[in-house]
Structure 1
Amino acid sequence: MKLFRLSIYCFLALLNLSLFAQKKSILAKSKTKELAIDGKIEEDEWLENTETASNFIMFEPDNGKAISENKKTEVKVLYDNEAIYISALLYDDEPDKIQRELTERDVFGVADHFAVFINGFNDGQQDYRFYVSSTGVQMDCLATEEIEDFTWDAIWQSSVKITHFGWSVEMKIPYAAIRFPKSQKQSWGINFMREIKRNAQKFTWNHIDTRIGAVLTQSGTLEGIENINPPTRLFLIPYTSAYYQKDNFSADKTLKAGLDIKYGINDAFTLDAILIPDFGQTKFDNAILNLEPFEQKLDENRPFFTEGTNLFNIGNIFYSRRIGGTPIISKSTLEESLVNNEQITNYPSTVDLINAIKISGRTKKGLGIGFLNAITEKTFATIKNTNDNSSRTEVIEPLTNYNILVLDQRFRQNSSVSFINTNTSRNGNFRDANVSGLVFDLNTKGNTYNLSGDFKYSSINDTESYDGFKSFITFAKTSGKYRYLFNGKYTSKNFDSNDLGILFYTNYYSGFVNASYRILNPTKLFNTLKIEQEVNLDVDNSTNRIQNTSWIQTIITATTLKLFYFQLGINVLPFETYDFYEPRQTGRFLYIPRRFSVYLEMESNKNNNLTFDITPSIEKFDENKRFSYRIYAGPKYRFSDKFSLGFYTDYSKNSNNIGWVDSDNSGIIFAKRNIETLQNNLTGKYSINNKMTINLNARYYWSYSSNKNFYNLEDNGRLTANNSYNTNKNRNFNSWNFDFSYSWWFAPGSQLSLLYRNYSQEETNSIQRNLKQNINSVFNANMTNILSISLRYFIDYNSVKTKF
């Protein structure tokens, strides 16, 4: 009898699992009357539509658990020639406990959320995701298995209503916001998601099994959309902006105007163009004291280069900050070419962008095509002769054309093969570059195993032309509690993608192994838990010496039942390695002793009004008194659903650090030095409503490097004392940035923004260890103040056509 009951239980469990595994389907009903997108869901169109998506299933933390009756969720879908319409009733037995923080667009905050994930090609490769919070704030993104890109913004409508039973949502998503094939009958991938913030729970309509690594392939289907005739997709976004800039020496007023164009070439492809670009209100860059042999990698904040660029990021050979970045002839290189009595009086730090266009989309058969072109203007530095006060100009960046072409073929809903080419052409006798890559990502039918890799080839035409290549291959188990990954990589000495990409390490081969264990459902202690073990070994091609970029690492990540998050990382390198980049000379290397490091990242429950983050870390070398430590910490307090302030401090100290300082006739000079860095950030937000926000962002950064002893680098990578070198190579760096802004989305896609910004930067060879004096120094330096106002207005061609 016991055996019989056990068999029945097993059968029911398997039946329940198989039901979860089936793809759900919902039928969209044709709409004939106007709908008011007000969140009330009172129109007959909704009430007469009996096709309902319900029976949501928990995605996290307790994956597979059915939603309770007192939290039931009911979703309906309508459509017409212009858009699809979605209504959702989100029941909650404690409506007064629904989290409702107001934020600016694309910021989730502490609030409940409802979302729809749409894949017009139903190929399991990319979702268009539309979120709305319980306060009506919109968030949207393009999602792949690797990333959710919230820099992408679409034009759509939504409204929410808090009710006696919970809350309700209405959405209108125009066809212009998504991509789908031109067919008489549409069949889309679709899923609905609900987040209950106070419980840290997410539910989806179609079950997403976390035992399977792929999420996008586990959507349901939307049927019923037939014989639609979408309107012309032509959007014009004219803008105008005014700037007043003042520093200690001059003042300047600037008025700008321009136009962004978005045109739907057909149902699947879109042309984006910017004429007379204006990026004056983008977020400031976090300047640092950079002692590394590599340039500082900067975040991209310009909307044109962040929105909908997922195709161009395939293969990781596109770094958009190259376009309109620093000139190709550096200031130090230009200084070396100066003759006696000459000095540089004007050196532009960036190059102006003339215009840019991009075309992207995907055919019905899954072929994604992307093309991007940008042109930057010829840029000059001014050089003055101090003897006769005459001036001359020198080209530091010629007229330059940047091109990117991407072809991405998707198949079987979970695999792809891609080709990408980047080309940089500079006018005149300047460096040109071309890089091509073939990338593949193959998954088994059940998304259990993955095989991926690439082959990239670069060709540089300069005073000395050269070619190079780079390749990797990865095999991974991507499902279940236990997962693993094996990776092999080879990069030739002359591979160079830095004209339109960013690459630091070349001339090496490597092997990487990762093994992990994770819980798929909560336990008595943890909501989530993952344990990873990694081993990475990088070996120089020329010498077969192990590089310092190798590691053996253990990572434990967990969230407790009370939503306390922590991550522990232990990194050890039990053998000697070599740095082939710090000497800044080809063929030379620096010996690095054995080392050990550990960090612990902790975050309190984000639902609380007062939250706190702290991450201490320490690194110790097998060398007398050579170590470093760092602590990142900061509180954030939510005074109300509208107002919050956050502060964090990031302090680090390196004792007896070894680093390059110079090269002279005696060879390569290194120094033993102490480095201290302090960064303080203050952020604030006051949301007047879900369309108006006031933001504060202030950053003070101070770092110094104090050299104690100098050494010569020997051919074997070791150092010998240099008692004759006495040049002052100390560095003391201060930076201040302050942004105070007001933003009003007064209509869909239309924004008025007002920004006050001031910033200052100061660098000397004189070390000042007193914090107060450093702050005074940066505020007494040449402070730049900018007041700007910008207006962008979204014009839909169809609306204009109707009016006229």
Structure 2
Amino acid sequence: MQFKFILTWLVVVLAFAKAESQIAQDTLDIKRKVYRATRVSTLPVIDGKPFEKFWDAIPSGGDFVMVEPSNGQKERDTHTTKFKVAYDDNALYVAAFLYDNNPKSIPRQFSQRDEINAQADVFGFFLNNYNNQINQTKFFATSANALGDAIAEGNREDFSYNVVFKSETSINELGWFVEMKIPYRTLRFPEIEKQDWSFQVFRRIRALNEEYSYNFVDITKGISTQYDALMTGVENINPPLRLNLYPYATIVNDNFNGVQTTEYNAGMDLKYGINDAFTLDATLIPDFGQVAFDQVVLNLGPFEQTFGENRAFFNEGTDLFNKGGIFFSRRIGQTPSGFGNVNLLENEYIIDNPNNAKLLNAVKITGRTVNRLGIGFLNAVTEKTEATIENLLNNERRTEITEPFTNYNMFILDQQFSKNSSIALSTASTLRNGSFTDAIVNALVLDHNDKNASNNYRAELKMSNRLTPTGTQTGIASETSWRKTRGRWRPRLAHFYRDKNWNPNDLGRNFQNNTQTFAADLSYNQFVPVGIFNRYDIDFRIRHRRQIDPDIATNSEFNINPFFSTRERLAFGGDINFFTKNLNQFEARKVGQVVRYEPSYFTGGFISTDYRKKFATDIRLGRFKRFNDIEESYNFNISPRYRFSDQFLLIYRLAWDKNDNRISYVDTDINDNPIVSRRHTHSVENRVSGTYNFNNKQALSLSFRNFWSRATFSRDFKELDSNGAAIPTDYTLTDDFDPDANFNVWNLDLSYRWRFAPGSEATLLYRNSIFNFDNQGDITFQDSLDELFTQPSRHNLSLRVTYFLDFNDAKRWFKA
């Protein structure tokens, strides 16, 4: 019955969206400025000094309007902005004149690629090569000449997108200045005689805490990409072949517990423009040895611990694959599914059990047609992974497959319509060799904004099919929502549904099934300065959750979250949350068995001071307490930062958390009954990060993290009745099982990065890591740290060199 309702709701929304798309000629009544770019036959010198004769004949654009804080206000006479755009068959050329009557006040903190939120002014040039009011390719430069690039869909930005373009800046007594060269190899656009492009120009004045745009952006309605200006004059482009190669070589020396190894590796990434709209990316013999450490913690919960993606190939340009939320790239090359289930016979032990499946290669194709159909395809292959087992008596060895040869595939079609809406169909499949589980997950996603940018309608319908050796398991999930996107008061209604067989985890990520959630939100937004405040907003949230089979209410929550930001860049806010009785479906680790928790509340708040000052800090604290129960917890975070100079920034973070008397899973007895007891946990995390920038191409970076956590379980064990209440039991611990835990990890990265040429980089990285886990649940932090330093330490030194090679440059070299 529930599924029929969801399907009917989806059909109604789709029909409404189609009707809207037929009558909507434009999404908003926007006054769109028009700028005509100039074709040139000579080239400018990209040196950040746009005062040469080349630019004299190019018309300028100006009359910028404030985005924040006083939305709609004209630019200051003391801080006017002008820009010019030229083009030829190879690239766009942009000049920007960012005047400032007090150039000594222009902050110019050094930073590296994409770190545009440093204490420096920012210039941005944003292009939409399809004029669809949804997508943008963004190019940034700071007053300290740091580069940045990103792709945007609506208000979502993805800075993992990296292309090779050139930008230089300069400062004199009039202000600061920018010149950019944006090669067409960085862009995708239709192969037509007259290009239909839109664009936006952005300026951030850090000392004044103000942001401006060329075309006015009304932040009270719609999304920023809907407010682009129009660019005319770009005609008869004959772009060059888009073929870029990124060969690399690595050398790694590893020393752990007295064993030292040295490995060499080489490979190549490739980027090829299949046609005017589509690009092929491939990684051949991939090497991810220098990706960041995962932020591991002591995980005592019912769900797996997952981490963010640190591999550039699976981050860059993958926004299409996120439609429907069925793609989680960390599944590719993850811990083998049979890692912890190796079958040992008598007198056998494991001598080798790889904890990651090796990625052999990966390719992806992405792009959008002239009819605004986005197509994405990703395929990755991991090799067979085996555990090696030895017999103690006869020394004979055998292997057992923990993960077979596996193919991961994503395919998506995303049709944009009505200027600012889209409908997408995506498929994720996992195919494993042999008698292992295969999986196919499909998602249909509608994201529709009405013609006045007043309402957003969103719907998702998803189906998972897991083909196991014993049969096929089919699950259904859906999401439906409506939210107002205009005005100060913005309500939202939503419904989320996951049936008991929903399982996208072969290539996706999902933590809960057999559950549905009803959501209602209301936010009040003050967009322009009032009194001492630059802006503020208050969010009200209500959630009601139910188990689907059988249908029971599991819990409800009510939240109030205010946020305030003053004119002096002081931000602060709070969290006030109330939770009703909770029948937790997952803590017991048994289907159909709930754990009952009493009603509770959480109060907390945060403060963040002005980052423009040399010293700033972030502080957050909170308290959680259950009514009619002894469980309570406290947390405290503080993160001071000090900018010693425009080159050196150091940040420290301390996180402290203590939770007492939580009813928690311990074990399952011989009768398959979950056993629980009161658990006490305490954790401390220390983190230090610092960067010394020699310039915007060379930096020395430090990243250190020590995370300690302990857990102690009361020996007053309980079992659970049918209502989830804890009742007495005669369960006792066995000699070989102790649920208490002491977890401590130490990771240190020290790296030197040098971008020695456009798109080319050398990274020298030293790593030191130590890990310890035991059952000393009552241990102190200092004693745990002493225990940690008795463990073997891993020392890892690696050098990676990547070189960017443009095929067109190579042709010119050979001709010369």
Q: Under a length normalisation based on structure 1, what TM-score does the superposition of the two structures give?
A: 0.96
Do residues 383 (structure 1) and 392 (structure 2) align? Answer: no
Do residues 763 (structure 1) and 770 (structure 2) align? Answer: no
Q: Which residue of 1 aligns with 2:718?
A: 711
Say whether the 8 Å CA contact 2:534–2:566 is kept in structure 1. yes
Q: Which residue of 1 aligns with 2:602?
A: 597
Q: In 2 relative to 1, CA 387–715 (structure 1 residues): closer, same or farther, beyond 3 Å? A: farther
Q: Which residue of 1 aligns with 2:728?
A: 721
Q: CA deviation at 1:340?
A: 2.1
CA–CA distance in 2 between the matches of 1:188 and 1:618? Answer: 52
Deviations 1:209-253 (A, max 9, x none): 011131111110111111110000000110000000001131100
Do residues 511 (structure 1) and 518 (structure 2) align? Answer: yes
Q: Which residue of 2 aligns with 1:30?
A: 39
Q: CA deviation at 1:146?
A: 4.4
CA–CA distance in 2 between the matches of 1:610 and 1:546? Answer: 49
Q: CA deviation at 1:388?
A: 2.4
Q: Which residue of 1 aligns with 2:668?
A: 663
Q: CA deviation at 1:287?
A: 1.2
Name which of 261, 285, 292 aligns with 1:252.
261
Q: Which residue of 2 aligns with 1:479?
A: 486
CA–CA distance in 2 between the matches of 1:190 and 1:552? Answer: 42
Q: Which residue of 2 aligns with 1:9?
A: none
Say whether the 8 Å CA contact 1:111–1:133 is kept in structure 2. yes
Please tell me the residue identity of whatever aligns with 2:241.
T
Partner SS, residue 270 of structure 1 = strand
CA–CA distance in 1 between the matches of 2:211 and 2:74? Answer: 11
Deviations 1:629-661 (A, max 9, x none): 100102100000000111010010001011111
Residue range with higher mean Cα deviation, 358-367 or 656-665: 656-665
Name which of 79, 85, 90 aligns with 1:82.
90
Name which of 272, 284, 302 aligns with 2:293.
284
Q: Which residue of 1 aligns with 2:239?
A: 230
Q: CA deviation at 1:385?
A: 1.9
Residue range with higher mean Cα deviation, 769-778 or 175-184: 769-778
Q: CA deviation at 1:586?
A: 1.1
Q: Which residue of 2 aligns with 1:779?
A: 789
Name which of 468, 483, 490 aligns with 2:497.
490
Q: Which residue of 2 aligns with 1:499?
A: 506
CA–CA distance in 2 between the matches of 1:186 and 1:375? Answer: 39
1:257-268 → structure 2 map (5 Å cutoff)? 257-268=266-277
Q: CA deviation at 1:21?
A: 3.9
Deviations 1:549-591 (A, max 9, x none): x421111011012110112111102x31211111111111111
Deviations 1:123-179 (A, max 9, x none): 011110111100110111111124210111011000000111110000001111111
Partner SS, residue 547 of structure 1 = strand
Q: CA deviation at 1:387?
A: 2.5
Contiguous gaps of at least 5 residues in structure 1 = 1-18
Q: Which residue of 2 aligns with 1:568?
A: 574
Q: Which residue of 1 aligns with 2:20?
A: none
Q: CA deviation at 1:426?
A: 0.1
Q: Which residue of 1 aligns with 2:151?
A: 142
Deviations 1:331-378 (A, max 9, x none): 1x22xx322222222211111100000000000010000000000000
Say whether the 8 Å CA contact 1:20–1:206 is kept in structure 2. no
CA–CA distance in 1 between the matches of 2:480 and 2:639? Answer: 40
Q: Which residue of 2 aligns with 1:243?
A: 252
Residue range with higher mean Cα deviation, 610-619 or 656-665: 656-665
Say whether the 8 Å CA contact 2:161–2:317 is kept in structure 1. yes
Q: In 2 relative to 1, CA 526–630 (structure 1 residues): closer, same or farther, beyond 3 Å? A: same
Say whether the 8 Å CA contact 1:617–1:630 is kept in structure 2. yes
Residue range with higher mean Cα deviation, 707-716 or 217-226: 707-716
Deviations 1:107-137 (A, max 9, x none): 1211100001111001011110111100110
Q: Which residue of 2 aligns with 1:6?
A: none
CA–CA distance in 2 between the matches of 1:244 and 1:564? Answer: 46
Name which of 107, 115, 120 aligns with 1:111.
120
Do residues 738 (structure 1) and 748 (structure 2) align? Answer: yes
Say whether the 8 Å CA contact 1:768–1:774 is kept in structure 2. no
Q: Under a length normalisation based on structure 2, what TM-score does the superposition of the two structures give?
A: 0.94
CA–CA distance in 1 between the matches of 2:207 and 2:390? Answer: 64
Say whether the 8 Å CA contact 1:239–1:257 is kept in structure 2. yes
Say whether the 8 Å CA contact 2:623–2:632 is kept in structure 1. yes
Residue range with higher mean Cα deviation, 386-395 or 30-39: 386-395
Q: CA deviation at 1:27?
A: 0.7
1:117-136 → structure 2 map (5 Å cutoff)? 117-136=126-145
Please tell me the residue identity of whatever aligns with 1:785.
H
CA–CA distance in 2 between the matches of 1:703 and 1:41? Answer: 56
Say whether the 8 Å CA contact 1:71–1:92 is kept in structure 2. yes
Partner SS, residue 522 of structure 1 = coil
Do residues 542 (structure 1) and 549 (structure 2) align? Answer: yes
Q: Which residue of 1 aligns with 2:69?
A: 61
Q: CA deviation at 1:285?
A: 0.5
CA–CA distance in 2 between the matches of 1:151 and 1:405? Answer: 20
Q: CA deviation at 1:605?
A: 0.5
Q: Which residue of 1 aligns with 2:320?
A: 311
Partner SS, residue 316 of structure 1 = coil
CA–CA distance in 2 between the matches of 1:502 and 1:342? Answer: 35
Partner SS, residue 652 of structure 1 = strand
Do residues 341 (structure 1) and 347 (structure 2) align? Answer: yes
CA–CA distance in 1 between the matches of 2:447 and 2:565? Answer: 31
Partner SS, residue 789 of structure 2 = helix
Identity, in percent, stands at: 37
Deviations 1:379-416 (A, max 9, x none): 00112222323221110000000010000000121000
CA–CA distance in 2 between the matches of 1:184 and 1:124? Answer: 21
CA–CA distance in 1 between the matches of 2:678 and 2:348? Answer: 35
CA–CA distance in 2 between the matches of 1:800 and 1:547? Answer: 64
Do residues 71 (structure 1) and 79 (structure 2) align? Answer: yes
Partner SS, residue 554 of structure 2 = coil
Say whether the 8 Å CA contact 2:669–2:731 is kept in structure 1. no
Please tell me the residue identity of whatever aligns with 1:44.
K
Partner SS, residue 311 of structure 1 = helix
Partner SS, residue 262 of structure 2 = strand
Say whether the 8 Å CA contact 1:31–1:45 is kept in structure 2. no
Q: CA deviation at 1:725?
A: 1.2
Please tell me the residue identity of whatever aligns with 1:43.
E
CA–CA distance in 2 between the matches of 1:518 and 1:202? Answer: 18
Name which of 754, 760, 777 aligns with 1:750.
760
Q: CA deviation at 1:786?
A: 0.4
Q: CA deviation at 1:720?
A: 1.5
Name which of 580, 587, 591 aligns with 2:585.
580
Q: CA deviation at 1:602?
A: 1.0
Partner SS, residue 72 of structure 2 = coil
Contiguous gaps of at least 5 residues in structure 2 = 1-27
1:132-281 → structure 2 map (5 Å cutoff)? 132-281=141-290
CA–CA distance in 2 between the matches of 1:104 and 1:658? Answer: 47
Q: CA deviation at 1:34?
A: 2.2
Partner SS, residue 773 of structure 1 = helix
Name which of 434, 440, 447 aligns with 1:441.
447
Q: Which residue of 1 aligns with 2:17?
A: none
Please tell me the residue identity of whatever aligns with 1:507.
N
Do residues 694 (structure 1) and 704 (structure 2) align? Answer: no
Please tell me the residue identity of whatever aligns with 1:295.
E
Do residues 654 (structure 1) and 659 (structure 2) align? Answer: yes
Do residues 364 (structure 1) and 370 (structure 2) align? Answer: yes
Q: CA deviation at 1:47?
A: 1.1
CA–CA distance in 1 between the matches of 2:601 and 2:693? Answer: 45
CA–CA distance in 2 between the matches of 1:167 and 1:671? Answer: 64
Name which of 795, 807, 815 aligns with 1:797.
807
Please tell me the residue identity of whatever aligns with 1:755.
L
CA–CA distance in 2 between the matches of 1:722 and 1:383? Answer: 39
CA–CA distance in 2 between the matches of 1:532 and 1:184? Answer: 49
Please tell me the residue identity of whatever aligns with 1:206.
N
Name which of 338, 345, 358 aligns with 1:329.
338
Say whether the 8 Å CA contact 1:545–1:577 is kept in structure 2. no
Partner SS, residue 509 of structure 2 = coil
Q: CA deviation at 1:20?
A: 10
Q: CA deviation at 1:768?
A: 5.0
